[in-house]
């Protein structure tokens, strides 16, 4: 157990639908990062939050949004889902704004299947 909790572990939904993925960071970590991993594209950075504020943005689609709450948990919202959104979504956390020292701690991921 890495200390980063992601729910749900598996999600199957239809095209056009909206889903919310949840992440609780490791205790004491202030940064949360979201990554998407599909078979053909590897690990793609989506977005980072640090202590509730958006810190960095990667290749995140406009249909996707995220936020980090005062208790530091984060949610990734995916809407108007398409077949190509099927992937593993990982959340990671770190103490500071970057991964210096101990890197990022990743959760076990949410596997999203869009049918």
Residue 3 near other proteins by CB under 8 A: no
Please select the residue that binds other proteins; options are 56, 61, 79, 95, rule is CB under 8 A: 56
- 50 touching other proteins, by CB under 8 A: yes
For the segment 74-93, give every residue that binds other proteins (CB under 8 A).
88, 90, 92
Among 19, 25, 29, 35, which residue sits at the site for other proteins (rule: CB under 8 A)? Answer: 35
Q: What is the 3-state secondary structure (H, E, C) of the chain?
A: CCCCEEECCEEEECCCCCEEEEEECCCCCCEEEEEEEECCCEEEEEEEEECCEEEEECCCCCCEEEEECCCCCEEEEECCCCHHHCEEEEEEEECCCCCCCCCCEECCCEEEEEC
């Amino acid at each position: 157990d890495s200390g980063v909790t992601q729910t749900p572990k598996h999600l199957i939904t239809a095209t056009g639908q909206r889903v919310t993925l949840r992440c609780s960071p490791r205790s004491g970590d202030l940064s949360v990062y979201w990554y998407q991993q599909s078979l053909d594209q590897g690990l793609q950075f989506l977005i980072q939050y640090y202590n509730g504020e958006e810190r960095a943005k990667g290749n995140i689609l406009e249909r996707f949004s995220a936020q980090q709450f005062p208790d530091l948990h984060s949610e990734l919202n995916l809407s108007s889902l398409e077949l190509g959104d099927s992937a593993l979504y990982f959340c990671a956390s770190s103490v500071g704004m970057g991964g210096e020292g101990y890197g990022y701690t990743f959760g076990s991921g949410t596997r999203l299947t869009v049918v």
